[in-house]
Amino acid sequence: MSYGIWFDVPLTCLNGHAPLSGREARLFTSHLNPEAIDRAVHIGDVLPLATNDFEDAYFTIRSPGDDTLILIIEQFDCPVCHRAQWALIEFERLGDASYRLRNVTTVPLTPDVVRGANFISRRMDIWIETNPDDAWIAELVGELRR
Ligand SMILES: [Zn+2]
């Protein structure tokens, strides 16, 4: 059983609504935190995460292997235009069960961005069902292939 992590960081909306405070953007990943609480994290915070925690919480695009930097694409909704936005979350590995939140930025959902990431939101399966133009993502994400 694991709990969620709120990324309390300022974000931009690519439709021109910025800056959004972390509380407005409400960027959240369920089932990522191995601690028995939901918690808010800020840039620079160190979390007791292991690689398999990321594999449980997200779909895997490319296994990080020995990379010290883990790149994750997670979804949030702009509170102004209510359109889905995509955040690139960067974690730096400090040890076997220790990762530091390094950066979070809003990115467009393009093939280069998806190919460059290690993990992508579990909400992606519902996103593809309702946004068939983005079905190409399933070709890049092994677990999403049908
Ligand atoms: Zn917006």
Tell me: the pLDDT tens digits for 5-35?
999 999 999 999 988 998 899 999 999 988 8
CA of 66 to the centre of ligand 1 (A): 36
Residue 85, H or E segment = strand 84-95
pLDDT for the residue numbered 2: 65
CA of 13 to the centre of ligand 1 (A): 5
Any idea which residue has 């400090």 for tokens?
94
CA of 23 to the centre of ligand 1 (A): 15
Torsion region of 85: left, alpha or beta (phi above 0 gives left; psi -120 to 50 gives alpha): beta
Number of Cβ atoms within 10 Å of the Cβ of 14: 16
pLDDT for the residue numbered 145: 62
Q: Is the pTM for the entire model greater than 0.85? A: yes
Give the three-state DSSP class for 101: strand
CA of 20 to the centre of ligand 1 (A): 9
What is the Cα–Cα distance from 78 to 82, expressed in whole angstroms? 5
Residue type at 143 in one-letter notation: E
Q: Each residue of 43-94: pLDDT tens digit?
A: 999 999 999 999 999 999 999 988 999 999 999 999 999 999 999 999 999 9
CA of 90 to the centre of ligand 1 (A): 22
